[in-house]
Amino acid sequence: MRLNPRQLPQSLNKGLAPIYIVSGDEPLLVQECCDSIRAAARNQGFNERELLHAEHNFDWGQLIASAGSMSLFAEKKLIEVRLPNGKPGDKGSKALQEFAQIGSDDLVLLLVLPKVDRSQLNSKWMKSLEQRGALIQVWPVDANEMPRWIHQRLRAEGLDAEPEAIQILAERVEGNLLAASQEIEKLKLLSNDNLITAATMNDAVASSARYDVFGLIDRALAGDAEAAVKTLHGLRAEGVEAPVVLWALAREIRSLLEIGEKLDQGQPLNRLVRIQKRQPLVQAAIARLPRRQLEALLLRARAVDNAIKGGRELNPWTGLLELTLNLSGKRSL
Banded pLDDT at 38 (limits 50, 70, 90) = very high
Domain ranges of the chain: 2-138, 146-204, 213-327
DSSP string, 161-213: E-HHHHHHHHHHHTT-HHHHHHHHHHHHHH-SSSEE-HHHHHHHPPP-----H
Residue 243 has pLDDT above 60, yes or no: yes
As a whole number of angstroms, the distance between CA 144 and CA 136 comes to 22
* Cα three-residue angle 138-142-143, rounded to 5 degrees: 155
pLDDT-wise least confident of 18-27, 73-82, 201-210: 201-210
Measured on CA atoms in the order 161, 31, 76, 123, is the torsion positive or negative? positive
What is the model's pLDDT at position 312? 66
As a whole number of angstroms, the distance between CA 69 and CA 90 comes to 24
Mean pLDDT of the chain: 87
Query: 10 Å Cβ neighbour count for 312?
Result: 14
Burial bucket for residue 64 (CB in 10 Å: 0-12, 13-18, 19+): middle
- Tell me if 170 sits within 8 A of 147, measured CB to CB: yes
pLDDT in tens, 2-22: 998 889 999 999 999 999 999
For the chain, how far is it from start to end, CA to CA, in angstroms? 55
Between residues 178 and 69, the one the model is more confident about: 178
Banded pLDDT at 202 (limits 50, 70, 90) = confident
- CATH number of this structure's domain 2-138, picked from the four choices 3.40.50.300, 2.30.30.90, 3.90.1300.10, 3.40.50.620: 3.40.50.300
Architecture of domain 213-327: Up-down Bundle (1.20)
78 closest CA partner among 13, 126, 16: 16
What is the model's pLDDT at position 197? 87
Pairing mode of beta strands 134-138, 2-3: parallel
Residue 71 has pLDDT above 60, yes or no: no
What is the model's pLDDT at position 213? 83
Banded pLDDT at 327 (limits 50, 70, 90) = very high
Instruction: Provide mean pLDDT across the span 101-115.
Output: 88
Query: 10 Å Cβ neighbour count for 177?
Result: 19
User: Identity (one letter) of the amino acid at 14?
Assistant: K
pLDDT in tens, 134-165: 999 999 888 888 999 999 999 988 999 999 88
Residue 301 has pLDDT above 70, yes or no: yes
Q: Considering the chain, what percentage of its residues have pLDDT values greater than 90?
A: 44
**What are residue 290's phi and psi, to 5 degrees?**
-65, 160
What is the model's pLDDT at position 210? 62
Q: What is the SS3 assignment for 98?
A: helix
Please provide the CATH number assigned to the domain covering 146-204: 1.10.8.60
How far is the CA of 271 from the CAs of 184, 228, 262, in angstroms?
41, 27, 10
Residue 222 has pLDDT above 90, yes or no: yes
Banded pLDDT at 76 (limits 50, 70, 90) = confident
What is the model's pLDDT at position 109? 94
Residue 219 has pLDDT above 60, yes or no: yes
Instruction: Provide mean pLDDT across the span 216-227.
Output: 92
- Tell me if 134 sits within 8 A of 155, measured CB to CB: no
As a whole number of angstroms, the distance between CA 236 and CA 182 comes to 25
Say yes or no: do domains 146-204 and 213-327 share a fold: no
